[in-house]
Homo-oligomer: A and B are copies of this chain.
Amino acid sequence: MALTQTISDSDIGQLMAEVGCRARTAAGELARATSGEKNQALAATAKAIEASAQALLEANTRDMEAAQKQSLDSALLDRLELNTARITAMAEGLRQIAELPDPVGEITDLHYRPSGIQVGKMRVPLGVIGIIYESRPNVTADAAGLCLKAGNVAILRGGSEAYHSNQMIADCVHQGLAAAGLCADAVQVIATTDRAAVGALITMNDSVDVIIPRGGKGLIERVSRDATVPVIKHLHGICHVYIDDGADTQKAIAIALNAKTQRYGTCNTMETLLVAASEAGSVLARLEKLYQAEGVELRGCERTQKHLPKVKLATQEDWDTEYLAPILSIKIVDHIDEAIAHISQHGSGHTDTIVTTDLNRANRFLREVDSSSVMVNASTRFADGFEYGLGAEIGISTDRLHVRGPVGLEGLTNQKYIVLGDGHIRQ
């Protein structure tokens, strides 16, 4: 197997150049594929995954055994593992993508100009997308499905621990593409675990149009730093809830509890609670009890400690930390300006919420907080492609260009201009 082969850097360069060349050639064909063909490929891939369940489990067992021998941590092993339920979920995910409307070819804003021409926009694929992710086999199926539906060619590079699982899923995708008469190169799963392949992929500007890294902060920082191909990334989520002066206490408490405790390891989980000084007395003691019951460790500013004497003092580092754990930092602020300033300084541009009854301050928060999702009276946990109705997401962008927030099929496309005339010439 490739795992045990030694491949030289120049061979990797050659391999990746071929992958890129085949991808670019496939991009034209895939952009022209009909919705019917793409949906047929998705359905056939789902069917192939279900039919290959036994082989998938065996391939995954090889990956799991190798990972256990390397004593990899339990979170990684959990993400790596496939079981019958997860295989069914992968197939079901592909069927759901098939059911989403096809964004490609949609024409909008077609209108007449004084010159007599009609100008409009047509939604088109981005082209070739390189996706770099950790050892999560289900991402191979998800990413292939989303890229395919949006008419993009995908070059997938999953974590090396998932090598056998990913190659088996790639087989299923290729069966699906073949069933629909689509080119196998529309989805390529890189058949080497050599890290040099990533270095090549993120600098192949002629054959790759965008790179989407998915995984931990280290991976994403490394890819962003070294890539010359444009990157759509999700760096981290330091999300805030601000309980405003005059907020409804019940709603404030419900949102602050839900945003922290509904799930701890997700990027849209609240990491810092900001409380207007006027509300501290009515919410903090009650929240402390509720958080304690859930096992959440609290860290607070000095003013918070006056209300909650048992709470540990938050350090400067706390305000900049994505805990992804049952830990919450709390800060008392004088007013909305201080809250917005804190979010501007310490937030990560992901998701921030105000709990308020004041219309003017709700509007100010919406307008002035520069995050990919800004909310009024709702839990940060809603920042999600499914909750927003995108149907599925390939990730959440905390970048400023092209797409912000959950990235669904629309975020994987762009719009070109179309002009319709009847022999029109420019004067």
Contact = CB atoms under 8 A, between A and B. Distances in A.
Interface of A: 28, 31-32, 105, 111, 113, 115, 117, 119, 122, 124, 126-127, 209-210, 225, 228, 230, 232, 248, 250-251, 254-255, 257-259, 262, 344, 355, 366-368, 370-379, 381-383, 387-389, 400-406, 414-426
22 contacts: A28-B370, A31-B370, A105-B367, A113-B387, A225-B228, A254-B423, A255-B425, A259-B425, A262-B425, A262-B426, A355-B423, A370-B416, A373-B416, A373-B418, A375-B419, A379-B424, A381-B425, A401-B414, A402-B402, A404-B415, A404-B417, A405-B416
Given A122-B366, A377-B420, 19 more contacts: A28-B344, A31-B368, A32-B367, A32-B368, A117-B387, A119-B388, A122-B374, A126-B401, A210-B400, A258-B425, A258-B426, A377-B424, A378-B423, A378-B424, A387-B426, A401-B401, A403-B414, A404-B414, A404-B417
A67 to B, nearest CB: 32
Contacts of A119: 387-389
Nearest to A404: B416
A374 B426 contact: no
Contacts of A126: 400-401
A115 B387 CA distance: 8
Contacts of A255: 423-425
Contacts of A374: 122, 416-419
For the complex of A and B, 6 pairs with smallest distance between CB atoms? A378-B421, A251-B423, A258-B425, A381-B426, A375-B419, A402-B402
Count of identical protomers in the assembly: 2
Given A368-B31, A387-B426, A419-B376, A401 B209 contact: yes
Question: Chain A at the B interface: mostly helix, strand, loop or mixed?
Answer: mixed
A221 B7 CA distance: 33
A163 B169 CA distance: 59
Contacts of A373: 416-419
Nearest to A405: B417
A378 to B, nearest CB: 3
Contact of A425 (B232, B254, B405): B254
Contacts of A258: 425-426
Contacts of A381: 425-426
Contacts of A31: 368, 370
Given A113-B389, A126-B400, A417 B425 contact: no
Given A113-B387, A367-B122, A425-B254, A372 B417 contact: yes
Nearest to A227: B228
